[in-house]
Structure 1
Amino acid sequence: ITGRALRDFAPRDEVVVATKVYFPWSDKPNQGGLSRKHIMSEIDASLRRLGMDYVDLYQIHRFDPHTPIEETMEALHDIVKAGKARYIGASSMYAWQFAKMQHTAEVHGWTKFVAMQNHYNLVYREEEREMIPLCIDQGVGVIPWSPLARGFLAGNRSRDKQQDETLRAQSDAFAHDMYYTDADFDTVDALKATAHGLKPAQIALAWILNKPGVTAPIIGVSKPYQLDEAVAVADLTLDAEVMQQLEAPYQPKQILGHS
């Protein structure tokens, strides 16, 4: 579907196409992880489904503790050299794991990662401790996932977890485990207080776009107007006072989103 839509509506060289590898499609052997076999077979499968000759960014979805880093990085390098991917990226791992993979590529003269897709938003800021400083130092673009905390930062959730929630929100155990603390709701209150005619979700996106190292957040929409609202704040600058007001309620959390 994605490949057909892009062919119909956009010249290939005007879009950036990214895809991932790691999670298995089945429980059969070699159907998951970052072995050379799986990486090589999955890039071919992705290109076949997309109807494309190459992707712009090929990302590993997780760190694979069961495969030697050298095997993974060499396979990714070979994919770039074969012209099947222009660049490679990583996602959802500890900073020491990412640094180790980058170092391995550098030592061997292989292709290094240019992007990190990590869990980062106003109510989960643990990535500011190590990963984001590492990415800034290494010139790696940060493309956070869940910038709206699975919809929590849209401001339509209640401290009473069941009140005024959609069925999807009520059944989202992952979000309830991560985001429903008093400090998180205080952050939502700060979003509403600083909105000034905009929506809380727009301010949350503007906040992340104003953070050092962030290239672009990964957003998901279910209605066209949500995309319009997101694009509307792409160039919105928040002053230091607003940034401080938004960040003040935050309380540290355990590391989440790496598995």
Structure 2
Amino acid sequence: MDTQATRTARELGGTWIAPFGVGAMLMGTSTPEGEARRILDHFVGEVAPRFSAPDGTPARAMIDTADCYCWWEAPGTDGGQSESLLGRWLAETGARERVHLATKGTARLREFDGAFLPDGDPDWAWAYDHFVGASREVLMTSVDASLERLGTDRLDLYYVHVDDRSVPLEESVGALAGMVADGRIGGYAWSNAPAWRLALVQETARAHGWPLPATIQEEHSYLRPRAGLERVAVIGAEHLDLARASAMPIVAYSPVLKGLFSAKERRDPSFWAMASYAGPDADARLATIDEVASQTGATGNQVALAWLMAQESPQVVPLVGARTWDQYLECAEAVDVVLDADQLALLDAAGA
């Protein structure tokens, strides 16, 4: 494995990007606009320019958002805050050509009466029954609305955010392929779907001569899902096999699982971000993270990110979705953590 992989750009759908991306989910709601702009300015102006394609072309800075972000942080709205903030920032900075801009559709809600529990938390079980879905009409209108909020005429990457099995894949993939053809999107992808559905997306595209999906985006970290987990949004062995066989990179959200690689108090099985992983295997891998962090002087979060960025089969592009500047900066500095072959082997082999 290339121990310098954390210092090289990654290719995604024909575009070379920095080895990690910024997730903008909380920008405009939990992350105030001024702090969001500070993160964006630093990532696009200071981090991404350190990387380049093999021909010397500067790498782009991948920024990832969605049209539903972030209604659950702002009750009484239907989302769009993140895209709108990014649109204002892009217009004022002129940074569009330096950014690989990704957004998602299909997870806005048809209605909101019932979207929140009595304690004020979002009712996700209810929400999953009220998403707008992935029909051709929804996809076409959603892309146009995202383009308007983002203030651009083209999206570099567009995701089906939540898999919609009520709509034939020929309809969804066909709509996306049509928008690739007319230039509204540079490529498309799926998120939060089981590997077998992603294989069907590929099969559908091949059968019609349409472009293949550029990537898959799922929750993915150094920890492995616990035995018996039934949660399609978490990367499993089947996802890895599919990506490997397709030579397709994985975009990983929640790569530091709310910071628990650094914050040991969050490793309790009762902490919701730990629930999908808790068990002897996770305990062994977390102990190894701590060991390598001690060897390198890096934080646990930085070691976990450096390990992800060093993966080659398949390649992984982690998304740093920090709420604050300090959280972002800790993660961004992971590009300076170079794990040697022994450390990578130790991390790879850890587990119950």
Name the TM tier (shorter chain): 0.7 to 0.9
2:259 to 148, 151, 173: 151
Q: Is 1:200–2:308 an aligned residue pair? A: no
Cα 1:85/1:95, change in 2 over 3 Å: same
Range that drifts further, 117-126 or 199-208: 117-126
The aligned amino acid for 2:284 is D
CA shift at 1:100, angstroms? Answer: 1.0
SS at match of 1:63: coil
Residue matched to 2:331: 230
Separation in 2, partners of 1:137, 1:4: 40
Separation in 2, partners of 1:156, 1:7: 40
| Alignment check: 8 A CA contact 2:224 2:236 kept | no
Q: Which runs of 5+ in 2 are unaligned?
A: 1-84, 113-128, 226-233
Q: Could you tell me the TM-score, scaled by structure 2's length?
A: 0.62
CA shift at 1:11, angstroms? Answer: 2.5
Q: Is 1:246–2:330 an aligned residue pair? A: no
1:214 to 315, 325, 329: 315
1:178 to 253, 276, 280: 276
Q: Is 1:131–2:239 an aligned residue pair? A: yes
Q: Could you tell me the TM-score, scaled by structure 1's length?
A: 0.83
Q: Is 1:107–2:193 an aligned residue pair? A: no
| Alignment check: 8 A CA contact 1:62 1:92 kept | yes
Q: Which has the higher contact order (CA 8 A, sep 6+)?
A: 2
Cα 1:40/1:247, change in 2 over 3 Å: same
Cα 1:181/1:27, change in 2 over 3 Å: same
Q: How many residues are matched?
A: 241
Q: Is 1:188–2:296 an aligned residue pair? A: no
| Alignment check: 8 A CA contact 1:122 1:247 kept | no
Cα 1:203/1:77, change in 2 over 3 Å: same
| Alignment check: 8 A CA contact 1:155 1:192 kept | no
Deviation digits for residues 58-92 of structure 1, max 9, x if unmatched?
01113221110100110001111221111111112
Cα 1:2/1:101, change in 2 over 3 Å: same
Q: Which runs of 5+ in 1 are unaligned?
A: 162-169, 252-259
Q: How high is the sequence identity, in percent, across the aligned residues?
A: 29
| Alignment check: 8 A CA contact 1:149 1:179 kept | no
Separation in 2, partners of 1:20, 1:44: 12
Separation in 1, partners of 2:211, 2:130: 24
1:96 to 196, 217, 226: 196
SS at match of 2:179: helix
Separation in 2, partners of 1:32, 1:66: 11
Range that drifts further, 226-235 or 85-94: 226-235
| Alignment check: 8 A CA contact 2:289 2:303 kept | yes
Separation in 1, partners of 2:242, 2:174: 22
